[in-house]
Amino acid sequence: MARLDGKVAVITGAGSGIGRVAAALFAAEGAKVVVADVVADQAASAVAEITAAGGSATAVTTDVSDEEQVEAMVRAAVDTYGGLHVLFNNAGIFPHDDGGVLDTPPATWQRVMDVNLKGVWLGCRAAVPAMLDSGGGSIVNVASFVALMGAATAQIAYTASKGGVLAMTRELAVEYARKGIRANSICSGPIETPLLAELLADPARRQRRLVHIPIGRFGRPEEIAKAALFLASDDASFVTGSALVVDGGITAAYVTPE
């Protein structure tokens, strides 16, 4: 039996990167998937791939910082598939001008908070009533290893937003622990996605980060998708309020192997 048989899942940022891989994986594990992405064409192509492989999915164009669009996203899951059991809040941004505390423009700070933190809150806010009506569910929020440690290669807005996700997820988990809803975070390390490739196009900038990963490479999207699948499924039925660290050993290291 597939791990998400009979489940309805909403995945944000599912048109590319980790979200797209997760959407295909969840569908292969039996879920009916709402592929939510701000880029309509990417969401549609992800759905086409899932349905071609025999899965069930529908696309919804969603800006996660917009309350009405997030509510419509959840409503699409309920109207199309009859309920909601899994929310994977994966959408996030990391602008080029997100740097140190003195360098980051206020507009950039606000945009990062709107997407990375407010977007997760809006997703949870819309999903919880639908999950309660569906008999419970699992919320998986993407935080980051930077929520657990600091870096001299500053990214102040991104780091602060992910710290907020971590704290918010813990509180949500405790609030709904006896109402059938679990909530957990994934603290991922750097993952080989189009976004990371763009940010680290400079070989020196790339190596500056790679040297700190004990495993010696960046993560792959499927490695985060599989962690999300575990937390979303009943295999994690006694796991809530946790921060699952999937970072290649970064947060465990003082120095890395030669």
Active site residues: 158
Report how far residue 113's alpha carbon sits from residue 107's, in angstroms, rounded to the nearest whole number.
10
Stated as kind and residue range, the H or E segment containing 6 is none
Report how far residue 180's alpha carbon sits from residue 222's, in angstroms, rounded to the nearest whole number.
27
Where does residue 11 fall: left (phi above 0), alpha (psi -120 to 50 degrees), or beta otherwise? beta
Contact indicator for 159, 150 with CB cutoff of 8 Å:
yes
Helix intervals (H) in the chain: 17-28, 40-52, 67-81, 106-112, 119-133, 156-175, 194-199, 203-210, 221-232
- Maximum alpha-carbon separation in the chain: 55
Alpha carbon 77 to chain centroid distance?
18
Q: What angle (nearest 5°) sits at the alpha carbon of residue 75, between those of residues 74 and 78?
A: 90
How many C-beta neighbours within 10 Å does residue 100 have?
Answer: 11
